[in-house]
């Protein structure tokens, strides 16, 4: 399964390398999907985002347009997850895939209650928490402004970290091969 995901990530990076004009929409979609509840459990896009960051170091892409697209995609994915949590409420625990992972909602609740808005920021950087924490924040009705401040600030930092990681890796590879 993981080889298949790596192949998809490689294919996406190759597509962006060949079709540079599509980089911002592709990065937006990847970041949105990576941050959206339920979808993020099925499609880990971070590897493709790091790979696209490598293209920045090769001079094929500009950092700013890709960074903004990824940041906004991630923030909107979390915003939608938060909204779903608000609308569905605690009954979401009985919906797939949370019904198959009953521990996620209580763990998310504990995390959000302990850390507040900082949970949104911290959760952005950790796999299953990335999309479940905003969902939980909605279920347990975190104040909207508090959520959005943490959501947008963490999205811009998260996208910068992934893309910069790829950029640095690309520069190190270029340096090692020269």
* pLDDT (tens digit per residue) in 59-84: 778 889 999 999 999 999 999 999 99
- The more confidently predicted of residues 87 and 60 is 87
Instruction: Please tell me the total count of domains within the chain.
Output: 1
Q: Which two three-digit tokens encode residue 141? A: 């009705």
Structural domain boundaries, residue 59: 2-177
- pLDDT for 131-167, tens place per residue? 788 999 999 999 999 999 999 999 999 999 988 888 7
pTM over 0.75: yes
What percent of the chain has pLDDT above 70?
A: 92
Contacts of 73 by beta carbon, 8 Å cutoff, 6+ apart: 27, 28, 29, 30, 31, 32, 35
Mean pLDDT, the chain, whole residue set: 85
Alpha-carbon dihedral angle through residues 168, 51, 43, 74, given to the nearest 10 degrees? 60
Judge contact between 54 and 167, C-beta under 8 A: yes
Q: For position 17, what pLDDT does the model report?
A: 84
Q: Is the pLDDT of residue 2 over 80?
A: no
The pLDDT, as a whole number, for residue 87 is: 95
User: pLDDT value at position 74?
Assistant: 94
What's 91's DSSP letter?
Answer: G
- Cis check for the bond before 87: say yes or no (omega within 30 of 0): no
Q: Which residues contact 9 (CB under 8 A, 6 or more apart)?
A: 45, 47, 48, 51
pLDDT band at 1 (very low <50, low <70, confident <90, very high): very low
d(CA 28, CA 58): 21
Instruction: Quote the pLDDT of residue 5.
Output: 60
Inter-CA distances, 157 with 7, 50, 125, 127, Å:
27, 14, 10, 16
């Amino acid at each position: 399964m993981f080889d298949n995901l790596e192949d998809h990530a490689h294919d996406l990076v190759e597509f962006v390398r060949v079709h540079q004009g599509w980089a911002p929409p592709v990065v937006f979609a990847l970041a949105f999907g990576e941050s959206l509840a339920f979808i993020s459990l099925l499609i880990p896009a971070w590897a493709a985002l790091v790979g696209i960051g490598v293209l920045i170091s090769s001079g094929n892409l500009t950092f700013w347009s890709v960074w903004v697209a990824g940041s906004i995609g991630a923030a909107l994915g979390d915003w939608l997850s938060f909204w779903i949590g608000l609308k569905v409420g605690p009954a979401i625990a009985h919906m797939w895939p949370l019904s198959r992972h009953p521990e996620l909602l209580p763990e998310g609740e504990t995390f959000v209650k302990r850390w507040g808005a900082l949970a949104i920021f911290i959760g952005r950087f950790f796999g299953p928490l990335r999309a479940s924490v905003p969902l939980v924040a909605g279920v347990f009705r975190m104040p909207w402004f508090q959520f959005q401040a943490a959501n947008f600030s963490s999205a811009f930092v998260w996208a910068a970290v992934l893309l910069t990681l790829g950029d640095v890796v690309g520069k190190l590879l270029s340096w090692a091969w020269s």
